[in-house]
Structure 1
Amino acid sequence: MRPALLVVDMLKEFVHGRLRSPEASRIIPVIKDLASIMHNRGFPVIYLADHHYPFDHELSIWGPHAMHNDPESEIIEELRPGPSDIVLYKRSYSGFRETGLDYILRDLGVDTVIITGIHTHICVLHTAMDAFYNRYQVIVVEDAVSAFSRSDHEWALNYMKTILGCRIMKSREVIEFISSK
């Protein structure tokens, strides 16, 4: 197995802004630790960042957010990508939709994605769903994802586990998994 870490929407808008997750600050150090371990093991770390234009369909639901050239659409300082990391910009919930993520993962020989970030019930869920449909093994790090509410978070984790067959793991379990590769 060759894993890649996906860091979903850890943007200023979702961590500190209007569409923030109340538990975002709790997951930052967990994601940072996982990224460091992935770097040390030579595995890819890929950031997926919401990045919208005024005509994007999603804005009809959420209003303007993570807009092109707006500082709110930047990845938070605490998780600033390193020189070997990949940053892909997305205009929909899924990190796979029209981003080239699938091609990049295949080029890198990745067969397992480890998903972290915000929001468990929206972008994390849709990214996990597309990973499932693209035949990747999917691990969702329970203590490295968060949502608007605990109920949204729990619902999405259960859905990903029972409907998509995702492995829902604590970060300590993921660290063991990565270290064994």
Structure 2
Amino acid sequence: MKQFKNIFIYETLKEIVEPSHTCLVVWDVQNALVESIFNKEAFIGALSNFIKQVRSKMSVFYTQITPPKDEFRSSWQYYSMMKSRNITDPSKVLSFMRDPKDRDIYKTIYPKESDIILEKPTASIFIGTNFEYLIRSRNINTVIFTGIATHIGIESCARDASNRGFYPVIVSDCVSSSDEKAHNCSLENMSKLFIVESSDAILKALA
């Protein structure tokens, strides 16, 4: 650790993920999304173990996609959803995450009473939620990201966290996507910008 003009700069992984200033985000691990990823068993196994190991050490935030009312979706939201799902009828976008069973968090990693669940309408944990207020109140400056999908919400959140002055840490084996190529490209890209480490490496630093 270095100190410069009264600012403490973390340098090692152990310093960065020190539990007193770190929280864990479990991003959109909802039934509909889990069923679409390329490595379901490996992902759920690694994530389940990671959450169990860190829950007693830091706050855990879960997110759920909560679509806005149809008339409050932007033109861009309709366009991007139609493009990503390869559909031409905007009315078919409306069904996304409407079924409570699809929206529910996957049972194997279901939140405990001590965890915090945030509903959010966008691909950023910082937009439409009080997440930033909550973690600044706890003097948290490192956010560990896990969940689905690597190249969408995870990378978007990591960029937003970085732009707000937080240390973004991505757990490489605890993030996933329905698109394996996009997942791998995103991890490679984020490793140049943020901290990307395996769950084993992070758990070792926390031990």
TM range (shorter): 0.7 to 0.9
Report the 3-state secondary structure (helix = DSSP H, G, I; strand = E; otherwise coil) of the residue aligned with 2:23: strand
The CA distance in 2 between the partners of 1:96 and 1:33, in whole Å, is: 26
Deviations 1:134-175 (A, max 9, x none): 11111101100112222101111122222xx21110110010
Q: 2:188 aligns with which of 154, 158, 172?
A: 158
Q: Does 1:170 align with 2:198?
A: yes
Report the 3-state secondary structure (helix = DSSP H, G, I; strand = E; otherwise coil) of the residue aligned with 1:139: strand
Q: 2:46 aligns with which of 30, 50, 71?
A: 30
Structure 1 segments (4+ residues) deviating >6 Å: none
Q: Evaluate the alpha carbon distance shift between residue 59 and residue 25 of structure 1 in structure 2; reply closer, same or farther with a 3 A threshold.
A: farther
The CA distance in 1 between the partners of 2:110 and 2:168, in whole Å, is: 24
User: 8 Å contact 1:65–1:73 — kept in the other structure?
Assistant: no
Q: Evaluate the alpha carbon distance shift between residue 151 and residue 120 of structure 1 in structure 2; reply closer, same or farther with a 3 A threshold.
A: same
Report the 3-state secondary structure (helix = DSSP H, G, I; strand = E; otherwise coil) of the residue aligned with 1:92: coil
The CA distance in 1 between the partners of 2:79 and 2:41, in whole Å, is: 28
Q: How far 1:24 sits from its partner (Å)?
A: 3.0
Q: Show structure 1 runs of 5+ residues with no match.
A: none
When structure 1 is superposed on structure 2, of 114-123 and 102-111 the one drifting more is 102-111
Deviations 1:79-132 (A, max 9, x none): 110011000011111111111111111112211111100000001111111111
Q: Does 1:88 align with 2:118?
A: yes
**Structure 2 letter corresponding to 1:40:** S
Identity of aligned residues (%): 23
Q: Show structure 2 runs of 5+ residues with no match.
A: 1-17, 82-92
Q: How far 1:177 sits from its partner (Å)?
A: 2.1
The within-5 A match list for 1:60-139 is 60-62=79-81, 63=93, 64-67=95-98, 70-139=100-169
The CA distance in 2 between the partners of 1:25 and 1:89, in whole Å, is: 25
The within-5 A match list for 1:42-61 is 43-55=58-70, 56-57=73-74, 58-61=77-80
- How many aligned positions are there? 172
The RMSD of aligned alpha carbons is: 1.6
The CA distance in 2 between the partners of 1:60 and 1:81, in whole Å, is: 33
**Structure 1 letter corresponding to 2:68:** Y
Paired position in structure 2 for 1:13: 32
Report the 3-state secondary structure (helix = DSSP H, G, I; strand = E; otherwise coil) of the residue aligned with 2:55: helix
The CA distance in 2 between the partners of 1:88 and 1:98, in whole Å, is: 10
Instruction: Give TM-score, length-normalised by structure 1.
Output: 0.88
Deviations 1:39-80 (A, max 9, x none): 222x0110011111342343443323223x622111111111
- Computing the radius of gyration from Cα coordinates, the structure with the larger value is 2
The CA distance in 1 between the partners of 2:139 and 2:44, in whole Å, is: 27
Paired position in structure 1 for 2:22: 3
**Structure 1 letter corresponding to 2:189:** Y
